[in-house]
């Protein structure tokens, strides 16, 4: 099981150090911490597996505000998230730019957690499989690629896909690509065990619930029991 903690725009270096000094995940589960850019160095120094929240496709250049895969490698980061729904919603990320980011990161030796998922309107219209096929289809095939299925309507809303819907979507994604598939979307200690017990769910991409040490630890324990 892989549990990835996406801290989004929370926790500067001081809070990151305090959190990781306290965090002791149980044996038997892989944990990746994904802090903001300013906290990457502190997170790496903790000895934990660390992913960035985004990465650019060029090695260098006039791309204000972006960070290259080579820079992350030099810092000691293990990988990066790409294509998160918030990047798509607020910053114009597309399937194509997500694929370019993934390709650059993988070519540099980084791991990638690539996010896919449908909006509520797309699900209601019966277009979930079409959306997933399009989003997954542009991604490169690579041993370092992990998919995170995050239905957009469940991101930060408190809504969670039922275990059945979750399993259905994960099983479909695995017909498209042979890799681990994580679930992301309001994962919490009280629903983690049921979600993670589904046969095609290989872990979770956890947002808000990963900001608290006890909460993240509880989700890691649920992953072991599943």
pLDDT of residue 80: 98
| Sequence ranges of the domains in the chain | 2-225
Cα 94 to the chain's mean position, in Å? 16
Tokens of 65: 């505000």
pLDDT of residue 162: 86
Cβ neighbours of residue 106 closer than 8 Å, sequence gap 6 or more: 112, 140, 142, 144, 145
pLDDT of residue 56: 98
**With 80 as the cut, is the pLDDT of residue 226 above it?**
no
In this structure, of 38-42, 98-102, 185-189, 205-209, the range with the lowest mean pLDDT score is: 185-189
Q: One of 86, 93, 150, 170 is an active-site residue; which one? A: 150
Do β-strands 203-206 and 2-6 pair in parallel, antiparallel, or remain unpaired? parallel
User: Averaged over 172-181, what is the pLDDT?
Assistant: 97
Q: One of 84, 93, 103, 118 is an active-site residue; which one? A: 84
- Catalytic status, residue 150: yes
- Catalytic status, residue 58: no
> Which of the four CATH numbers 3.30.1330.200, 3.20.20.70, 1.10.10.10, 3.30.160.250 does domain 2-225 have?
3.20.20.70
User: Averaged over 90-95, what is the pLDDT?
Assistant: 96
pLDDT of residue 157: 67
pLDDT of residue 153: 77
Question: Quick check: 35 and 7 in contact, CB under 8 A?
Answer: yes
User: Averaged over 170-192, what is the pLDDT?
Assistant: 96
User: Averaged over 17-25, what is the pLDDT?
Assistant: 97
Split at pLDDT 50, 70, 90, the class of 64 is: very high
pLDDT digit string, tens, across residues 125-167:
999 999 999 999 999 999 999 999 999 877 666 667 788 999 9
**With 80 as the cut, is the pLDDT of residue 105 above it?**
yes
Cα–Cα distance between 142 and 103 in angstroms, integer? 9
């Amino acid at each position: 099981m892989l549990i990835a903690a996406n801290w989004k725009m929370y926790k500067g270096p001081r809070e990151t150090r305090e959190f990781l000094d306290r965090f002791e995940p149980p044996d038997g589960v892989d944990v990746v911490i994904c802090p903001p850019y300013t906290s990457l160095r502190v997170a790496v120094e903790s000895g934990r597996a660390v992913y960035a929240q985004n990465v650019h496709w060029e090695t260098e250049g006039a791309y204000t505000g972006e960070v290259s895969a080579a820079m992350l490698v030099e810092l000691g980061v293990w990988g990066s998230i790409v294509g998160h729904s918030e990047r798509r919603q607020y910053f114009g990320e597309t399937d194509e730019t997500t694929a370019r980011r993934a390709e650059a990161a993988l070519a540099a030796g980084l791991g990638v957690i690539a996010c896919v998922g449908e909006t509520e309107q797309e699900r209601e219209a019966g277009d979930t499989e079409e959306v997933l096929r399009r989003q997954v289809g542009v991604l490169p095939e690579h041993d370092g690629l992990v998919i995170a299925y995050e239905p957009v309507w469940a991101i930060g809303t408190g809504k969670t896909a039922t275990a059945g819907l979750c399993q259905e979507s994960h099983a479909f994604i695995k017909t498209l690509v042979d890799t681990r598939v994580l679930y992301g979307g309001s994962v919490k200690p009280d629903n983690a065990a049921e979600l993670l017990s589904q046969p095609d769910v290989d872990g979770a991409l956890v947002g808000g619930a990963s900001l608290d040490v006890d909460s993240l630890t509880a989700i890691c324990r649920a992953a072991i029991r599943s």
